[in-house]
Amino acid sequence: MSEAKVTGVRGIDLAVRDLDSSARFYNAVWGLEEVRREQGVAYMRATGREHHVLALHEAPRSAFLGTRLATSDKTVVDALHARACGFGAVVLDAPHQMPSQAGGGYGFSFRSPDGLMQTVSCDVERHDDLIADATRPSKFSHVVVRVANFPTQRDFFVDLLGFKLSDETDGIDFLRCSPDHHSVALAKAQGPGLHHMAFELPNLDSLMRACGRVRSSGHDLEWGVGRHSGPGNNIFSFFVEPNGFACEYTTEMEQIDDATYPVRDARWWRENRPGGGPCAWRMATRRSENLMLARTGKLVEALNDGRA
């Protein structure tokens, strides 16, 4: 395989039923900042330079729409497009300048085998400034996607997009495209859908302050604060946002050296998980029922149907 590969996850796109209330949540509570709104789409940035890390599309039903992926330059975009065509993916357009996209850039879009939109781009506009507030997310950390046809999806990310397998458990495969232990993870469950999305905070103190802001705004902490005793070793805290999606603040994601990192399989993790439970600190023991409904997509559907 050539070296053409994805180098980061810029963010994700969600369909939401009430754009104004969703944008208010992500602005005032979650700590993102709306940078542009047009044609029923609100674009939210983090404190870092990425143009936006979340796009909210007003629609009749809430849904996970897809992922925006970064790569280094036009040559790589063109190479990944050629590979996508050869891979048999549903390629929606040829590489082109994208002035109609917020942040512009050069890229193309295609669909994963589950039908979710993927956009690969380079030369996307970046902010000149950093927002000086450590209690707000600095960047998009990772997206965990529920996938139905699991082996095909993994091949798609590894063989086509150049992701590397970091770790495999009974429930999830963790994939990296940068030193972060995982930027995309595939949950072996009914899909397609969003299992959860995660945003990075600079450190534990800033994460705790961010959690305090969300809780004091009337949103329950559904799981955490804890440190994963499994892949990634990152600190986690889970909430459920107003549309029923599970969202996470995280920090201290394990940084990987490709030359030395040993990929561990599901059996290894069954036999060697530190502490024997999901939290290395043995603090975050119980996930809420609400979070479980959110991660399986049932809460989003219940809200869409007026049942919750």
Give min distance, CB of 180 to Fe ion, in A.
11
Q: For Fe ion, which is the closer residue by CB, 25 or 223? A: 223
Q: For Fe ion, which is the closer residue by CB, 62 or 250? A: 250
Q: Is the alpha carbon torsion for 176, 180, 186, 191 positive or negative?
A: negative
The structure tokens listed for 65 are 């729409």
Give min distance, CB of 170 to Fe ion, in A.
16
Pairing, β 106-111 against β 117-122: antiparallel
DSSP 155: H
Q: For Fe ion, which is the closer residue by CB, 51 or 182? A: 182
Mark the segment that binds Fe ion (CB under 5 A) among 21-29, 125-133, 157-165, 244-252.
Answer: 244-252
Q: For Fe ion, which is the closer residue by CB, 5 or 228? A: 228
| Residues numbered 247-286 forming contacts with Fe ion, rule: CB under 5 A | 248
Mark the segment that binds Fe ion (CB under 5 A) among 217-225, 240-248, 268-276, 291-299.
Answer: 240-248
Give min distance, CB of 179 to Fe ion, in A.
17
Percent helix, strand, coil in the chain, to 5, is 25, 35, 40
Q: For Fe ion, which is the closer residue by CB, 50 or 248? A: 248
Residue 168: closest CA among 266, 234, 273? 266
The residue count for binding Fe ion (CB under 5 A) is 2
Q: Is the alpha carbon torsion for 88, 94, 99, 103 positive or negative?
A: positive
Residue nearest to Fe ion (CB): 198
CA distance 199 to 197: 7
Mark the segment that binds Fe ion (CB under 5 A) among 5-13, 96-104, 243-251, 297-305.
Answer: 243-251
Q: For Fe ion, which is the closer residue by CB, 198 or 201? A: 198
Residue 268: closest CA among 145, 184, 174? 174
- The b/e string for 222-252 (b: 16+ C-beta within 10 A; e otherwise) is bbbbbbbbbbbebbbbbbbbbbbbbbbbbbb
| Residues numbered 156-215 forming contacts with Fe ion, rule: CB under 5 A | 198
Give min distance, CB of 144 to Fe ion, in A.
6
Pairing, β 172-176 against β 223-227: unpaired
Give min distance, CB of 80 to Fe ion, in A.
26
Give min distance, CB of 195 to Fe ion, in A.
8
What are residue 74's DSSP bridge partners?
none
Q: For Fe ion, which is the closer residue by CB, 6 or 198? A: 198
Give min distance, CB of 197 to Fe ion, in A.
8
Q: Is the alpha carbon torsion for 172, 176, 177, 178 positive or negative?
A: positive
Q: For Fe ion, which is the closer residue by CB, 124 or 284? A: 284
Give min distance, CB of 250 to Fe ion, in A.
6
Query: Which chain residues interact with Fe ion by CB under 5 A?
Result: 198, 248
